[in-house]
Chain A
Amino acid sequence: MSTHILTSDPTGAPPRTSSKPPGVLRRVWAQSEGRVGIVLTAVVVVLAVFGPLLAAPLTGYTPYQFADRPFAHSGVFGTDNLGRSVLARFLDGGRLLLLYSVLATALGMVVGGALGMLAAYARGWLDSVIMRLNDIVLAIPQLVFALLAITVLGPKGWVLVVVIGLTHAPRIARVARSATLRVINEDYIRAAEMYSVPRWRIIGREILPNIAGPLSVEAGLRLTYSIGAIASLSFLGLGMQPPTADWGLMINENRIALSVQPWGVLLSVFAIAVLTIGTNLLADAIARATAQTTVEE
């Protein structure tokens, strides 16, 4: 996936004071993109969360039991490379992907958001140091960075979360920094400083709520990329490890029989596609909803 440009969409104007969440949600729902995004995302989230419970009752097999010879056509969607039920593994295969993506995004938001606000608030040399470090990390393509880290540390869950989260951080920091810079000169911040309100309180009470708009757009985007990145790594064989049931890994394992028994690949591809499209539409709708200027069209 590419560097996004959605936030630089000229229809997005700088946010002003507190936009209350219920209002944002309503404005998201008001757009057709937002509605479709919410529905698509919800479908896959429900599938990922409740699928594991349904796997055995629906198929008669757990995701790890053997149902037939490898790549057989028995059952609804046939069997995988080891003769396990594709449907059972598919139902079980979204949970970790979703969990790790959310964790990675959260980590990136916390680290990137903190660094960005700090840079903007402190200015001076600290700002320069943080932003130059940012540039360095940004100069290494995300995937190459992840490959290096996973090779050194091994393909473990926490490594995936940390690596993906940290590669998001610089991008989030940029957004947080520029958003903070925009509000920091507002009168109410100045006033708070004059009354010598503690800095952490200013950041927490005044700045954070006011940059929540752009940050939530960023969170939606980063979630989309986290899903794509973790699925890609599993697809490369460097993410989730066997015998885990996971969509990305299923594609890796069953790809050789794509022409013979395509379901092991296609179900997962479809689920990942719906999920990333859903979160991306949602991010886009949030961007418009928080933009506060009249949405075009």
Chain B
Amino acid sequence: MPEPEHRRRPGAHRLSRRGLLGSGAALGSLGLLAACSNGAGGGEHFQVEGPPRKGGILRVGLTGGSAADTADAHSPVNNGDIARTVNLYDPLLMRDDDYVLRPRLATSFKPNAAATVWTATLRTGVRFSDGSPLEPEDVVYTFKRITDKKDPKVIASGLTMLDDVVKTGPHTVEFRLSEPNSVLDDQIGQYAGGIVPRGYDPKKPIGTGPFVLESFAPGESTVLKPNPHYWGKTGPFVDEVRLLSFNDDDAVINALLSSQVDAVSQIPLALVEVIGSDERMAILNSKTGRWMPFTMRVDRPPFDDVRVRQAFRLVVDRQQMIDQVLSGFGQLGNDMYGILDPAYPKDIPQRTQDIAKAKELLAAAGHGNGLKVELVTAPIQSGVVEAAQVFAQQAKAADIDVSIRRVDSTTFFGDDYLQWDFAQDFWNSRNILGQTVAGTVKDAPFNETHWDNPRFERLAAQARGELDEAKRAKLIRQGQEMLFDEGGYIIWGFANQVDAYQKYVAGMKENATGIPLGGYNFNRVWIGEVS
């Protein structure tokens, strides 16, 4: 674990791009609640350098909470659930700020030559928050619970090949697979794979994370206290973390500006520059692998004709998408997922808008007089409905008439989810093979484009069985090329994760996993003193 880094000031360089266009007025007006602010004024400075200071309370504002919130280690759904999971539990492995898998409760996790058996060596001296030691039986219990056939948990869909988990020594556990899987480490190295003790009761959660649950009111607030038995070397420094649920962006930003909370996760990208120009605020801008694709069903007209899919990909002005939908906070997409995966083929030329070529392809596919399609969209993630509107506007140039059908999220994820002919979705940072298993093989649980290609399937299976990284990358590349040429996704960009916090909060770091506020690693956060 790295020591908490000195607080950064990302807000400063963000502003330069467009100058302070109009933000003079905005600056003043954003102090909506300056009158009732109990925080320090903009002129003060804080001691956020040097060694971390102990003490204080960290108040974090979140949106998206509801009465259905949970502290269950294996069923996190929304933003707040993830924050609780990350801080109450530890998985065997976890991705760090740079999206590299690092040991957590396992000091090593190694496959056999055939990639059919993986052996985890557990860290010694780890205790659960109730004082009991971490034992192999707990790991066995955890994965039984996750893969319970009657109630499979969030990461179970990536563990379908997991036959059995067996204790093989005082500190070792074997994961026995029914088919080779060279990326099992990626599948279990997720925040939803936290190790829990035998007899785990989500109502009285016990874990090995840096914090323990002091109180929890779903949809309202969560109070976390430091775990006295925490095994990690870093922190926690604060005496208490409070997670507060707010109804929506407006309320949470007002709470930040009036110093009712110290940090908020995910602010609207269109407001980043103005919030960043407030002297009291700091912005945490992390590049991530989160993508919000358009999904075309490759087995349904008009998208069953590959030329139509290619034409649709060519009408997209990707930079404009990023500018209008993400206010510039994103990276270009090239119709392939997994940008953070080392095997992501960066050298395939960037696809750009080509209306003439798109029209040609459409004419060749028999749509010379234009084409009318319905795009189903829903506010499932900020930016999704907006992207639909930008796409509809861009597609006009190629005589494609896109009628937008906005439904509510419940309808979107209802009976027709994964069945829409032309719709949208969003995914967080994932490695390519993990994503493939989830969405682009025949029996994948989220095969929203209905991609069913025997050659692709063979490549994916081969790659999963290949332990040699270079060889695996080659196989992955072949698969990605197929998606680039013929796939049903339009992947126009990868969105940044942008959070905001008060400048007296120290230890926040950019994090590529897409988990807000530096991956919710509150153990490294501390409250700076006024100096």
Q: Do A and B touch each other in the complex, judged by CB within 8 A? A: yes
| Complex contacts, A83 vs chain B, CB 8 Å | 323-324
A72 and B21 contact, Cβ closer than 8 Å, known pairs A82-B389, A259-B30: yes
Q: Does residue A188 face the partner (Cβ distance < 8 Å to B)?
A: no
Interface-facing stretch out of B69-77, B117-125, B266-274: B266-274
Contact B29 A259 (CB under 8 A): yes
Q: Does residue B386 face the partner (Cβ distance < 8 Å to A)?
A: yes
Complex Cα–Cα for A74 and B22 (A): 9
Complex Cα–Cα for A265 and B205 (A): 46
Contact B393 A65 (CB under 8 A): yes
Residue of A whose beta carbon sits closest to that of B411: A154
| Complex contacts, B325 vs chain A, CB 8 Å | 82
Residue of A whose beta carbon sits closest to that of B31: A259
Contact A242 B274 (CB under 8 A): no
Contact B268 A73 (CB under 8 A): no
Q: Does residue A100 face the partner (Cβ distance < 8 Å to B)?
A: no
A260 and B274 contact, Cβ closer than 8 Å, known pairs A82-B386, A241-B406, A243-B389: yes
Q: Mark B28-44, 1 if CB is under 8 A from A, else 0.
A: 01101000000000000
Complex Cα–Cα for A241 and B408 (A): 12
Q: Does residue B392 face the partner (Cβ distance < 8 Å to A)?
A: yes
Contact residues, A255-270 vs B (CB, 8 A): 255-257, 259-261
Contact B22 A73 (CB under 8 A): yes
Complex Cα–Cα for A69 and B15 (A): 14
Contact residues, A155-201 vs B (CB, 8 A): 155
A246 to chain B, nearest CB (A): 13
Complex Cα–Cα for A255 and B320 (A): 23
Contact B404 A242 (CB under 8 A): yes
| Complex contacts, B270 vs chain A, CB 8 Å | 69-71, 81, 256-257
Residue of A whose beta carbon sits closest to that of B270: A70
A241 and B404 contact, Cβ closer than 8 Å, known pairs A66-B393, A73-B22, A83-B324: yes
Contact B323 A256 (CB under 8 A): no
Q: Does residue B249 face the partner (Cβ distance < 8 Å to A)?
A: yes
Q: Does residue A64 face the partner (Cβ distance < 8 Å to B)?
A: yes
> Which DSSP category, helix, strand, loop or mixed, fits chain B's interface?
helix
A257 and B393 contact, Cβ closer than 8 Å, known pairs A70-B327, A241-B406, A242-B385: no
A242 and B250 contact, Cβ closer than 8 Å, known pairs A66-B320, A259-B29, A259-B32: no
A68 to chain B, nearest CB (A): 9
| Complex contacts, B21 vs chain A, CB 8 Å | 72-74
| Complex contacts, B218 vs chain A, CB 8 Å | none
A245 to chain B, nearest CB (A): 11
| Complex contacts, B390 vs chain A, CB 8 Å | 66, 82
Q: Does residue B26 face the partner (Cβ distance < 8 Å to A)?
A: yes
Contact B389 A259 (CB under 8 A): no
Contact residues, B300-332 vs A (CB, 8 A): 320, 323-325, 327-328
B416 to chain A, nearest CB (A): 14
Contact residues, A32-91 vs B (CB, 8 A): 64-66, 69-74, 78, 81-83
A66 and B324 contact, Cβ closer than 8 Å, known pairs A73-B22, A81-B386, A243-B393: yes
| Complex contacts, B13 vs chain A, CB 8 Å | none
| Complex contacts, A69 vs chain B, CB 8 Å | 18, 270, 323-324, 327-328
B36 to chain A, nearest CB (A): 15
| Complex contacts, A242 vs chain B, CB 8 Å | 385, 388-389, 404, 406
Contact B271 A256 (CB under 8 A): yes
Complex Cα–Cα for A65 and B325 (A): 13
B29 to chain A, nearest CB (A): 4
Number of interface residues of B (CB under 8 A): 29
Contact A70 B404 (CB under 8 A): no
| Complex contacts, A261 vs chain B, CB 8 Å | 22, 26
Complex Cα–Cα for A203 and B28 (A): 64
| Complex contacts, B30 vs chain A, CB 8 Å | 259-260
| Complex contacts, A259 vs chain B, CB 8 Å | 26, 29-30, 32
Complex Cα–Cα for A72 and B274 (A): 11
- Most chain A beta-carbon neighbours within 10 Å: one of B22, B328, B388: B22
| Complex contacts, A257 vs chain B, CB 8 Å | 270-271
Q: Mark B361-404, 1 if CB is under 8 A from A, else 0.
A: 00000000000000000000000011011101100100000001
Complex Cα–Cα for A259 and B33 (A): 11
A278 to chain B, nearest CB (A): 30
A124 to chain B, nearest CB (A): 46
A260 and B406 contact, Cβ closer than 8 Å, known pairs A82-B389, A243-B389: no
Q: Of B32, B324, B396, B406, which one neighbours A70 at CB under 8 angstroms?
A: B324
Contact A71 B271 (CB under 8 A): yes
- Most chain B beta-carbon neighbours within 10 Å: one of A70, A71, A78: A70
Residue of B whose beta carbon sits closest to that of A260: B26
Residue of A whose beta carbon sits closest to that of B29: A259
A260 and B271 contact, Cβ closer than 8 Å, known pairs A242-B385, A243-B393: yes
B120 to chain A, nearest CB (A): 46
A241 to chain B, nearest CB (A): 5
Q: Mark B327-355, 1 if CB is under 8 A from A, else 0.
A: 11000000000000000000000000000
Complex Cα–Cα for A71 and B327 (A): 9
| Complex contacts, A82 vs chain B, CB 8 Å | 324-325, 386, 389-390
Residue of A whose beta carbon sits closest to that of B326: A70
| Complex contacts, B250 vs chain A, CB 8 Å | 255-256
B423 to chain A, nearest CB (A): 15
Residue of A whose beta carbon sits closest to that of B385: A242
Q: Of A64, A70, A71, A241, which one neighbours B393 at CB under 8 angstroms?
A: A64
B33 to chain A, nearest CB (A): 10
- Most chain A beta-carbon neighbours within 10 Å: one of B270, B325, B385, B388: B270
Complex Cα–Cα for A65 and B393 (A): 7
Q: Mark B2-32, 1 if CB is under 8 A from A, else 0.
A: 0000000000000000100110001001101
Contact A72 B324 (CB under 8 A): no
- Most chain A beta-carbon neighbours within 10 Å: one of B21, B323, B325, B389: B389
- Most chain B beta-carbon neighbours within 10 Å: one of A72, A74, A255: A72
27 contacts between A and B (CB under 8 A): A65-B393, A66-B320, A66-B323, A66-B393, A69-B18, A69-B270, A69-B324, A70-B324, A70-B327, A71-B270, A72-B18, A73-B21, A74-B21, A78-B22, A82-B325, A83-B323, A83-B324, A155-B406, A243-B404, A256-B250, A257-B270, A259-B26, A259-B29, A259-B30, A260-B30, A260-B271, A261-B26
A-B pairs with lowest CB-CB distance, top 3: A73-B22, A70-B270, A243-B389
Given contacts A69-B327, A256-B271, 20 further A-B contacts (CB under 8 A): A64-B393, A66-B324, A71-B271, A73-B21, A81-B270, A81-B386, A82-B324, A82-B389, A82-B390, A155-B406, A242-B389, A255-B250, A256-B249, A256-B250, A256-B270, A257-B270, A257-B271, A259-B29, A259-B30, A260-B274
